[in-house]
Structure 1
Amino acid sequence: MTDESRLVAGRYRLTEEIGRGGMGTVWRVQDEVLGRQVALKRLHERPRLSDGELATLYERMRREARSAARIVHPNVVVIHDVVDDGGQPCIVMEYVPAVTLGDLLKKGPAVPPQEAARIGLGMVAALRAAHAAGVLHRDVKPGNVMLGADGRVVLTDFGIAMTADASPLTKTGELVGSIHYMAPERIRGRKPGPASDLWALGATLYQALEGRPPFDRPTAMEVAYAIAVDPLEPMQRAGALQPLIEALLAKDPDERPSAEETERLLRTARTGGSTGATGVTGATGATGATVPAASPTMGNGTRQRRRQGRKRRVLLSTTVAAAAAATTALGVVYVMSDRGTGTPDPDAHQKPSAPGQPYTPPPLPAGFHRVNELGASFPVPDGWKAVNRSGELVTYGDASGRVGITVKMFEPAGANPMEHFTSMEARTKSNYAVYWRVRMDQTAFRKQPAVVWEYTFKGRKRGYRAIEEGFGREGGREYDISLSAPEAQWDTYRHLFDACRDGLTTTGQ
């Protein structure tokens, strides 16, 4: 869907793409009936999904509209209409000229405490209104917080929201959302409640202040385990907000402050007061439990004892749950994530072959043919031609010259592919004035050490996105497979990388 000026539902004229995420694209459009600018959200094309899966996605989008429409509040985006476009539902909503908190954190330094308190006030006001309407957001994160030029804070994207009277849209053992912002009870497979959204609020404020999520780990499984079990890393830049954020990120939902108490403490912090030394001896939890309030003036020894005591309580209560959390993480499905990506799904790769047995690739996808290069065989799309060959790499590209798959072979492979990828990243940064790392994760592929690297960069005329994965055993061969494509068309071409990587086999040549 790149055709600007196209008319949707006989009324909404597409004028500019203003946002793109894991599920859909948001356009600024002109309402030609009322003569005003609005925003329109449309799902990405999903040609590989079954009819049932598409029906679930469409229903999730309709539910987003119904959920958000139930909430009337200045900190929640206004829903105007739901229309059909070629069989797909589209949400027409208020146009808010804004940058997301996620984008702000990617482009600049962390947010100072008083500004974080201001943003938090808008978020908690939106959550209070949503919870009062019987709606759980379930995907509160920096990418869903819009910061308007006029100072307005808007919570958006209720695409996986859940209402008290709605049936679930997920299968047993499936989680939907962004892993870094999932509360511990959700990781353990328990039913979420308002306190789960407040945990995500705490995680968002933690990242706003510290520049990283509170439980940032290399893989989704490690993130899930850390959320369920690990103590919170001490904050360095939170100032007066530290006690409140620590309370919001409590493992037990009953120990978190309520939305009302959170709002009161954020107001105190915004005016320069303390969220832990205001004479309050405890904050009322989401279900009526009392949370001891922390004083920011207490010594380091007291803080350490408090953290250790909390860690012991959490470990005692989650010894069994931790194993379940780690197992649950393997079945997580990521429907929503910042910029269409996130921590990689540990099951995204093909299962490795048994020891001593050759790897059997999946059947050749339709529209692909095999080529033999660099001692390996791998699929490339029909019609693509080799546009670059050297002693250690080959690139196949499409007719436009903008999309390409590159396979590189290095011999002998080093002990740690991460060192190789770090070096490649340094060269890439020097080649492009605008570069942004999406992720660089150490993992394993076919029982070999591997690294997945995803990033964006600015070409002469447009922005591009790329993903590369390298794997190999020390002393043998390392193969790196990469895909690059215009960022605006990333969802159209992303699956080509999986087909090439999963279909690659060594030929021994």
Structure 2
Amino acid sequence: MRTAVAASLAVVTVAGGVYLFGFDHDNGQKNGGGQSSATDKPSAPANKPYTPPSGYHIVTEKKFGFSLPIPDGWSRQEQSDPDGNTVDRTQEVRYLAPNGLVGLRINVLDFASGDQVQHFEDLEVGFKDKKAYPIYERLRLQETKYQGLPAAIWEFKFRGEVRMYRAIDLGFGKEGEKEYAIYLSGPDADWGTYRPIFDEVRNGFRILS
């Protein structure tokens, strides 16, 4: 039985660099519990002070120019995992839950796309490869705004090595400037537990001035 694995599910070349996304944290553990839905809430304005709730702490990523709330007990993935999947320290930060099944990734690219929805549709092509991902289901992909910036939200399900996963990805940025993506994935069966983590990170994410 393998230990917890953080596998990059796809690598797609885009303007400004390589956008890596997807976690597959399967370590043979069984997961129970049902799935509940969570509604989207507007993000706090970028200039509004933010205080993390109990169970979270603020992490400042000076190299990438942002700060965000991280659940207590989560660890920053600094090294490649046992399967050789690398962490691209030039444009991404990864955090893993203690159980190794839930992953948060923040990507930063040099140049934002002019169409955030199209950007995600281009990335989605990798998930439609039946050989790599026998099961993929888009739940939604739509245009939105985030902290006043053009944005898109993408939510989907996919099959990992042991179980079904669910993921949500928020991409945002002004065309020609920095582009950011906040991505969270976890077991679909327990999505009602993990989705609020994404909401908290989204609400507390701040671009440093």
- Provide TM-score, normalisation by structure 1: 0.31
What is the rounded CA distance, in whole Å, between the counterparts of 2:193 and 2:143 in structure 1?
26
What is the rounded CA distance, in whole Å, between the counterparts of 2:42 and 2:110 in structure 1?
23
2:35–2:191: 8 Å Cα contact kept in structure 1? no
Deviations 1:130-173 (CA, angstroms, capped at 9, x unpaired)? xxxxxxxxxxxxxxxxxxxxxxxxxxxxxxxxxxxxxxxxxxxx
Amino acid at match of 1:350: S
Which one has the largest radius of gyration?
A: 1
Q: 1:385 aligns with which of 72, 75, 78?
A: 75
1:361 offset after TM fit, Å?
Answer: 4.3
Alignment of 1:128-277 (within 5 A): none
What is the rounded CA distance, in whole Å, between the counterparts of 1:487 and 1:466 in structure 2?
8
1:320 corresponding residue in structure 2: none
1:376 aligns with 2:66: yes
Rate the CA distance shift 1:382–1:461 in 2: closer, same or farther, 3 A.
Answer: same
Deviations 1:222-275 (CA, angstroms, capped at 9, x unpaired)? xxxxxxxxxxxxxxxxxxxxxxxxxxxxxxxxxxxxxxxxxxxxxxxxxxxxxx
Amino acid at match of 1:366: S
Q: 1:423 aligns with which of 122, 137, 143?
A: 122
1:476 offset after TM fit, Å?
Answer: 1.1
Rate the CA distance shift 1:395–1:444 in 2: closer, same or farther, 3 A.
Answer: same
1:350 aligns with 2:26: no
Runs of 4+ in 1 over 3 A off after TM superposition: 19-22
What is the rounded CA distance, in whole Å, between the counterparts of 2:50 and 2:66 in structure 1?
15
What is the rounded CA distance, in whole Å, between the counterparts of 2:92 and 2:128 in structure 1?
20
Deviations 1:371-421 (CA, angstroms, capped at 9, x unpaired)? 223211111111111125421111100122110111111111121111211
Alignment gaps of 5+ in structure 2: 1-31, 79-86
1:20 offset after TM fit, Å?
Answer: 5.0
What is the rounded CA distance, in whole Å, between the counterparts of 1:377 and 1:429 in structure 2?
33
What is the rounded CA distance, in whole Å, between the counterparts of 1:350 and 1:392 in structure 2?
23
1:484 corresponding residue in structure 2: 185
What is the rounded CA distance, in whole Å, between the counterparts of 1:441 and 1:414 in structure 2?
15
1:448 corresponding residue in structure 2: 149
Rate the CA distance shift 1:366–1:21 in 2: closer, same or farther, 3 A.
Answer: closer
1:359 aligns with 2:80: no
- Larger % of strand: which? 2
> Secondary structure of the equivalent of 1:451?
strand
Rate the CA distance shift 1:491–1:21 in 2: closer, same or farther, 3 A.
Answer: closer
Amino acid at match of 1:491: G
> Secondary structure of the equivalent of 2:98?
coil
1:21 offset after TM fit, Å?
Answer: 5.6
1:464 corresponding residue in structure 2: 165
1:363 offset after TM fit, Å?
Answer: 1.4
What is the rounded CA distance, in whole Å, between the counterparts of 1:465 and 1:492 in structure 2?
12
What is the rounded CA distance, in whole Å, between the counterparts of 1:399 and 1:446 in structure 2?
30
1:467 offset after TM fit, Å?
Answer: 0.6
What is the rounded CA distance, in whole Å, between the counterparts of 2:34 and 2:71 in structure 1?
26
Deviations 1:421-448 (CA, angstroms, capped at 9, x unpaired)? 1111112333412111111111111121
What is the rounded CA distance, in whole Å, between the counterparts of 1:432 and 1:464 in structure 2?
11
1:384–1:399: 8 Å Cα contact kept in structure 2? yes
- Provide TM-score, normalisation by structure 2: 0.72
What is the rounded CA distance, in whole Å, between the counterparts of 1:494 and 1:387 in structure 2?
20
Deviations 1:172-217 (CA, angstroms, capped at 9, x unpaired)? xxxxxxxxxxxxxxxxxxxxxxxxxxxxxxxxxxxxxxxxxxxxxx
1:506 aligns with 2:203: no
1:282 corresponding residue in structure 2: none
1:361–1:504: 8 Å Cα contact kept in structure 2? no
Amino acid at match of 1:411: D
- Larger % of helix: which? 1
1:406 corresponding residue in structure 2: 105
What is the rounded CA distance, in whole Å, between the counterparts of 2:164 and 2:194 in structure 1?
15
1:351 offset after TM fit, Å?
Answer: 4.8
Deviations 1:55-76 (CA, angstroms, capped at 9, x unpaired)? xxxxxxxxxxxxxxxxxxxxxx
**Percent of aligned pairs sharing the same letter:** 38
1:361–1:502: 8 Å Cα contact kept in structure 2? no
Amino acid at match of 1:442: E
What is the rounded CA distance, in whole Å, between the counterparts of 2:200 and 2:44 in structure 1?
14
What is the rounded CA distance, in whole Å, between the counterparts of 1:20 and 1:377 in structure 2?
32
What is the rounded CA distance, in whole Å, between the counterparts of 1:477 and 1:428 in structure 2?
25
1:362 offset after TM fit, Å?
Answer: 2.8
1:361–1:505: 8 Å Cα contact kept in structure 2? no
